[in-house]
A and B are shown apart, each in its own frame.
Chain A
Amino acid sequence: MKESKHPVLTDEELLMGLASGSDDALGQLYRRYFPMVLHLVMTNTGTEDDAKDIYQEALIVLYEKVRSGSLELHCQLKTYLYSVSRRLWLKQLAQRSRFMVRDIESPVSDDVALDHLSDDLSVHEERDRQFDLMADSLDRLGEPCRTLLEDFYIQHMSMQDITEKFGYTNADNAKTQKYKCLMRLKRLFFSEYKQ
């Protein structure tokens, strides 16, 4: 129903919507290519949940590329998403000691596009590691530091709101607390990350 209300967007428009954070564009994109990945994963011994995870991860790869402004498409968006999903699913399968997928589409095959795909995925892996590490570090940071940082950096709450929420006497005090928490997080994060 939603799609009939809005004009069908081209791949170009979808990517622009994705960059600007439009929910409508993301919704359309999501629904447009999900059946393809669902079909791919299901024909290769995966479940619906596997398909969802793989597809969402592929979209994260795409999203982070778009947000960092470093997206270079050397093929159709569809092929890009298929190839990324395929690689990610292959990785999953390798962990289950299977090394083949039966293709339902042709993945990227020319050298330039393959290079870029590999680059994108290694960047993604790095980011994945950072992400996991960050989640781990935040866990180990303990309260109230964790919530404070999450509120400020992730929920984008204002310093004033945080002061009130945590019952600090003033915003400067809250700032100092936040800075101390950040320094602790830094130590935790980099002690792992640098290794």
Chain B
Amino acid sequence: MDEERDIENALHAYGERIRFKQRLAKIHAATDMSAMRQAADSYQSSLESSGQVRGLWKTYRTTLAVAASAAIITTFGSIFLYRSYQQSHKQEQQYSQLSKEIQAVKSSQRKLWSDLNGRGRALSLNPGQVAGTGFLITGDGYFVTNNHIVHEADSVYVQSNKGEVYKARVVYTDQSHDLAFLQLCDDSAFRPMPTVPYSFDARSSDLGERVYTLGYPREEIVYGEGYLSSGTGYRGDSTAYQVAIGVNPGNSGGPLLNEKGAIIGIISGKQTTSEGVSFAVKTNYLLESLNNIPADSLKGQPIRLNRKNALANLPRKQQIKRMQDYVYQVKVFKHKE
């Protein structure tokens, strides 16, 4: 019975299709074929227009490829050049000279300067613009600091940790080693002091040597200690040491002493990109510069350095106590542009 129904269904479907085909044939016969052809010819589809784009793409593919690669090379090339330029530029800036811009601490300075002698009062009318550290190399008033501190200075004053201010004369500057020699005895108020307690060690020091410094990153004298970490300075500068010591703007020009209290260098700068990487000019370059000072700048009297180290057998605290009178803050006044 199932099969009977199946065959009937199949027959019905067959008949249905035949009738539909007949209808289609009738409709087709009634259809205006020329209109259909016209419609087909002018048939515009979405793909046709993109086909046109595709045609253009095929035609100009190679040109586009060349142009695109040129653009890519130019873009990345200039980015690369710019980056490498920036990189080298940044490295220049990584070295910061540790002179201090005074403007920021103007107010606290004023307080400190209203001191004895009335000298501070006069100065406070025109506060210094740059400050650093320096120290005496002879008891009779020869003084060393960094060249970058006194560079283009109108006038230079030094201030002891007791607050006494003296005017200083720039005797000689050595730009290549960033050294400047000053003389305090120009100022009649300066009374020659006893011979400096420290000696100058021109021999190159060993890595790992314990070192310390005194300086004026602020108005008070500040002690800092560390160790010698490399025999060369910034970017392999053989005239300097690398020192692992915490220094700040204002420490520039400070003495770098070893365990025995001998001066082995002068703090000159630090690397801004890493912490605790500072640099100090080696003592033998200090001596070298000293010898280059023209005789007439010294007014006939040669500088005699102290050779006897009075600090050698003292404990650190005593060493500092003895030498802090010889470490001065340097204040520099510049003509404002």
Contacts and interface: CB of A to CB of B under 8 A. Distances in A.
Interface of A: 23, 26-27, 30-31, 34-36, 38-39, 42, 48, 52, 56, 59-60, 63-64, 67, 103-106, 127, 130-131, 134-135, 138, 149-150, 153-156, 182-183, 185-186, 189-190
Interface stretch (B19-27, B175-183, B248-256, B319-327): B19-27
28 contacts: A23-B27, A26-B27, A27-B27, A30-B31, A31-B36, A36-B40, A36-B45, A38-B37, A38-B39, A38-B40, A48-B33, A56-B21, A60-B17, A60-B21, A63-B20, A104-B48, A105-B47, A106-B47, A130-B10, A134-B11, A135-B14, A138-B14, A153-B12, A182-B4, A182-B8, A185-B7, A190-B3, A190-B6
Interface residues of B, number: 34
B30 interface: yes
A42 B41 CA distance: 9
Given A34-B31, A103-B47, A104-B48, A154 B36 contact: no
A158 to B, nearest CB: 15
A38 B36 contact: yes
Nearest to A68: B13
A190 B10 CA distance: 11
B125 to A, nearest CB: 85
Given A38-B36, A190-B3, A31 B31 contact: yes
Interface of B: 3-4, 6-8, 10-21, 23-24, 27-28, 30-31, 33, 36-37, 39-41, 43, 45-48
Nearest to B41: A39
A106 B47 CA distance: 7
A26 B23 contact: yes
A185 B6 CA distance: 11
A52 B12 contact: no
Given A23-B23, A60-B20, A60-B21, A39 B40 contact: yes
